[in-house]
Amino acid sequence: MANFRSYIWDPVLIVCQIVLMQCIYYSFLGLWLAGVDGLVQSSRSLDQIFSYEVLGFATLQGRLSMMAFILNSLTCALGLWFFIRRGKQCLDFTVTVHFFHMICCWIYNSHLPAALSWWLVNVACVALMAVIGEYLCMRTELRAIPVNSGPKSNL
């Protein structure tokens, strides 16, 4: 059941939603990468999440990691639908999640990403997550409001 929110500025709610979306992002990315690693019997590492060099077209592991990032954007779009529930806010939360991911990668690697594949994958993930999340949220927002068609009483 969808609740209609007021448009009152609620910074606590926004911060909680940002933290929740960040948790969803890293939790499901970890699960997708673990599944990919299980397919090719590869070792798990934080490099798969934060290193720029892992995402690439040259190796099977790089292509599978890119696939995990793409699948994670679909999972996160569901997170937007379940927890944010506002089509107008999907792009904001998507960019925020990926901005914080870029900051974490920057801290992990001690420099900004120089790999073109990292930028391409993340731009594609932002686009997928935002568009699919917005589509799902808008579909829910625009759902017809049921009108009681029972007998009417004169008041």
Report how far residue 128's alpha carbon sits from residue 111's, in angstroms, rounded to the nearest whole number.
Answer: 26
Which of 18-22, 101-105, 109-113, 145-149 bottoms out in mean pLDDT, i.e. has the lowest? Answer: 145-149
Q: pLDDT tens across 84-127, in order?
A: 988 899 999 999 999 999 999 999 999 998 889 999 999 999 99
Structural domain of residue 97, as residue ranges?
Answer: 11-144
Q: Residue 149: is its pLDDT beyond 90?
A: no
In a domain, 6, yes or no: no
In a domain, 121, yes or no: yes
Cβ contact 113:104 at 8 Å:
no
In a domain, 155, yes or no: no
The span from the first CA to the last CA of the chain, in angstroms, equals: 29
In a domain, 151, yes or no: no
In a domain, 3, yes or no: no
Q: Residue 21: is its pLDDT beyond 70?
A: yes
| pLDDT band for position 137 (cuts 50, 70, 90) | very high
In a domain, 116, yes or no: yes
In a domain, 106, yes or no: yes
What's the pLDDT at 143? 81
- The pTM of the full predicted model, rounded to 2 decimals, is 0.84
In a domain, 17, yes or no: yes
Cα 110 to Cα 65, 113, 121: the distances in Å are 21, 9, 20
Number of structural domains in the chain: 1
Q: What is the mean pLDDT of residues 21-47?
A: 91
